[in-house]
Structure 1
Amino acid sequence: MNTDAVVRRLIAEAVGQDESVLAALPGDTRLFGPEIGLSSLAGARLLDSVRERFGVDVAAEDLNLDALESIATLSGFVQRHRR
């Protein structure tokens, strides 16, 4: 499974949405926008899941958390920093 697909699955799990919904969204869909509705609690769960799955600590490596702007920015960040 490619990184983007796994990141989308982790987002779906964090916000309690069906994976097929996230799979159909364009990459520029904002994580905190109405389509996904990432809350601060769900965001913390997502960051934990990304760290466990990919070994990437987004909060430590991206102090402004710009990586959480959209599906594509998070996926790209993970691809660049994964171990």
Structure 2
Amino acid sequence: MTDTRERAAVEREIRSMIAEAARLDDTVVAGLPADTDLFGPEIGLTSLAGVTLLGGIDRRYGVDVAALDLSLDSLQSIATLTDFVAAHLQ
């Protein structure tokens, strides 16, 4: 997927899913830079919230991040997760 509008739509939805999983306000996550660390202080994703997030991504996009990215490097930031999901859309 190379369409920047489609990637932007994926990023908006993933940001919303991150907010829900981390129990943060959508507007807070929407305003964070794309390179914000998912497990850093701004988002503070826990391992349980991470599992919830990955389950939501699998249900919504059909992308099993844990199976496709064994090192889970894609969970570094909002941007890395968005890029990974966008690259693996079915």
Which residues in structure 2 correspond to 1:29-48 (within 5 Å)? 29-48=36-55
Partners of 1:41 and 1:23 in 2: how far apart? 21
Question: Normalising to structure 2: TM-score of the pair?
Answer: 0.90
Q: Which runs of 4+ in 1 moved over 2 A?
A: none
Q: State the one-letter code of the partner of 1:30.
A: D
Which residues in structure 2 correspond to 1:5-44 (within 5 Å)? 5-44=12-51
Partners of 2:74 and 2:43 in 1: how far apart? 15
What's the counterpart of residue 54 of structure 1?
Answer: 61
Q: Percent identity?
A: 55
Partners of 1:62 and 1:41 in 2: how far apart? 18
Structure 2 residues not aligned, in runs of 5+? 1-7
C-alpha RMSD over aligned residues:
0.9
Structure 1 residues not aligned, in runs of 5+? none
Q: State the one-letter code of the partner of 2:79.
A: A
